[in-house]
Amino acid sequence: MADRRSNLLKTLPPQHFVGLAKEVAALEQAGADIIRLGQGTPDLPTPKPICEALETALANPETHQYGPFRGQSRLKQAVSTFYLNEYGVDVDAETEVAILIGSKSGLITLPQCVLEPGEGILLPNPGYPDYISGARLAGSVVHDLVLTEDNDFLPDYKTLDTHGARLMYLNYPSNPTGAVATPQFFEDTVRFAREQELMVVHDFAYGSIGFDGHVPPSFLQADGAKEVGIEVYTMSKAFNMSGWRVAFAVGNKDIIEAINTYQDHVHVSVFSAIQEAAVAALESPKSIRDDLSRLYETRRDRLVDGLRQAGWDVTAPKGSFFVWARVPEGDSASFAKKLLHEAGVAVTPGYFFGTEGERYVRFGLVSPEPKIDEAVERIERLFAAYEEVRA
């Protein structure tokens, strides 16, 4: 059958994760025991009070109808209250909040909302691959925002050439690197954005996950942040709600209006019952998020300490639920294949995240501790076997 995809769709980058999932599944079907540390989806269930709020909302027939185009006022007010309590940031519920069908949807469609075809966008390299998909769909010109280990995976604004781009994406705590930002960095970002006439989008997907006492700051806490940009917050990571597809954007009212205008023409917001559950989540005790963050920190310590004991010099991240590890030999693709086929441990090759990831692999901390311990043992045995061969 002929390829019916439009030329626009043909410009999209390959979905590498689909290929990796198929490779892992094929090995498992052939009888291999694979420990999956490559995924980026929370492994724990959504907290019970949030599920109960959904059940209660489902019992109300009004939630079965189309909801307001721009989301339930109750949810937008809950977002405003959450940002005030969590970050000390005032957000106008009606003009500075957009409800999203998952943060991925919002991040991918945003360039279409604020850029003209041919205008430039700065995207992190390494960074979340689907940022590029959004740029391609908008006909935007992608410029690399190069992030290196030497600069703690933060952009160097003193040397950065924006190439005249109008939009810049940031993501801290970072996927895939686990790098974190400081309040001073966000102050510098606002200054730089003003100088360069840039709009800023901060993907705050892992904002609830900080380690070693680090509390990830919100971009909107920086003076003037709402003048230049927005922040996107997902319920997926903070509340184990990845399958619920609900998130929100907050900040600059003109960008928020652009998002809402786009969504007016594409869909009628998130299912109302899910919005009610999101309200329950945002109003839930902070201890729920803190407990989850501590769990990921425990898993991080088990993985990093074990890999170091095995002889792999790995840097412990201060946020997110990923460990970004420089490979001891070869490139990311070949080393990831070695781990998969010879140790039965699936990790994500760093090249999935851009050219700057060629010498790294990403571990996900979304498997229980026994699985992490077993993965470390397998890797240690693999390293020991190679040392014997070299000897």
Q: Which of 228, 262, 284 is the last residue of a domain?
A: 284
pLDDT in tens, 123-142: 999 999 999 999 999 999 99
pLDDT class of 292 with cuts at 50, 70, 90: very high
Q: Does residue 341 fall inside a structural domain?
A: yes
Q: Does residue 1 fall inside a structural domain?
A: no
Specify the pLDDT at position 391: 43
Residue 15: give the domain boundaries. Answer: 7-45+287-390
* Same domain, residue pair 29 and 104: no
pLDDT in tens, 325-365: 999 999 999 999 999 999 999 999 999 999 999 999 999 99
Q: Does residue 352 fall inside a structural domain?
A: yes
Asked if omega into 176 is within 30° of 0 (cis), the reply is yes
DSSP 8-class letter at 210: B
* Same domain, residue pair 238 and 317: no
Q: Does residue 234 fall inside a structural domain?
A: yes
* Same domain, residue pair 28 and 73: no
CATH of the domain at 144: 3.40.640.10
* Same domain, residue pair 107 and 34: no
Distance CA 36, CA 54 (A): 30
pLDDT in tens, 145-203: 999 999 999 999 999 999 999 999 999 999 999 999 999 999 999 999 999 999 999 99
Specify the pLDDT at position 296: 98
pLDDT in tens, 261-276: 999 999 888 999 999 9
* Same domain, residue pair 65 and 197: yes
Specify the pLDDT at position 388: 52
* Same domain, residue pair 92 and 217: yes
| Average confidence (pLDDT) over 56-60 | 96
* Same domain, residue pair 215 and 152: yes
Distance CA 226, CA 194 (A): 11
| Residue 220 tokens, joined | 């909107």
| Residue 218 tokens, joined | 């919100």
Please provide residue 76's backbone torsions phi and psi, each rounded to the nearest 5 degrees: -65, -35
Comparing C-alpha atoms, which of 87, 168, 74 is closest to residue 123? 168
| pLDDT over 70 (residue 387) | no
pLDDT in tens, 93-118: 999 999 999 999 999 999 999 999 99
Q: Which of 269, 284, 299 is the last residue of a domain?
A: 284
pTM: 0.96
Q: Does residue 314 fall inside a structural domain?
A: yes
- Residues 372 and 333: beta-carbon distance below 8 Å: no
* Same domain, residue pair 157 and 183: yes
Q: Does residue 2 fall inside a structural domain?
A: no
* Same domain, residue pair 11 and 156: no
* Same domain, residue pair 40 and 53: no
Q: Does residue 360 fall inside a structural domain?
A: yes
Distance CA 151, CA 134 (A): 27
Alpha helices by DSSP H, the chain: 7-10, 16-29, 48-58, 73-87, 103-114, 130-137, 183-196, 225-228, 235-238, 253-266, 272-282, 286-309, 332-338, 369-390
The pairing of strands 229-234 and 247-251 is antiparallel
Residue 317: exposure state from Cβ atoms within 10 A (0-12, 13-18, ≥19)? buried
| Average confidence (pLDDT) over 232-252 | 97
Specify the pLDDT at position 23: 94
Q: Which of 233, 266, 284 is the last residue of a domain?
A: 284
| Residue 137 tokens, joined | 């769909």
Q: What is the mean pLDDT of the chain?
A: 95
331-335, 345-349, 367-371, 384-388, range with the lowest pLDDT: 384-388
pLDDT class of 14 with cuts at 50, 70, 90: confident
How many domains does the chain contain in total?
2
Percentage of the chain beyond pLDDT 90 is: 91
- Residues 171 and 202: beta-carbon distance below 8 Å: yes
* Same domain, residue pair 79 and 210: yes
Q: Which residues pair with 229 in a beta bridge?
A: 200
Q: Does residue 53 fall inside a structural domain?
A: yes
* Same domain, residue pair 127 and 243: yes
CATH of the domain at 28: 3.90.1150.10
